[in-house]
Structure 1
Amino acid sequence: METSRRQAAQTAEIFTRSGLNARVVCSGELDADVVIGSR
């Protein structure tokens, strides 16, 4: 899920509380922050 750098940790916590393994990936080149959730 695309998110802001400021909200990435909170988004990852929501994923974790929902039973997912959360990983935050940031790209300076694309100026993008994404939280990836998997089981």
Structure 2
Amino acid sequence: MKLHKKTMKKLSNVEVKKVSGGTSHGIIPPDTLNNTLQIE
């Protein structure tokens, strides 16, 4: 159960970051990805 709770907490954090437009755990908003590609 401990592992499951930790996993759920991680998922919650990821969802929060996604909603707030932040990047976490490899989640990159399309705008950021496009800007990075344009810079390169």
Q: Give the structure, 1 or 2, with the largest relative contact order (CA under 8 Å, sep 6 or more).
A: 1
TM-score (norm 1): 0.40
Tell which structure's C-alpha radius of gyration is larger: 2
Higher helix share: 2
Higher strand share: 1
TM-score (norm 2): 0.39
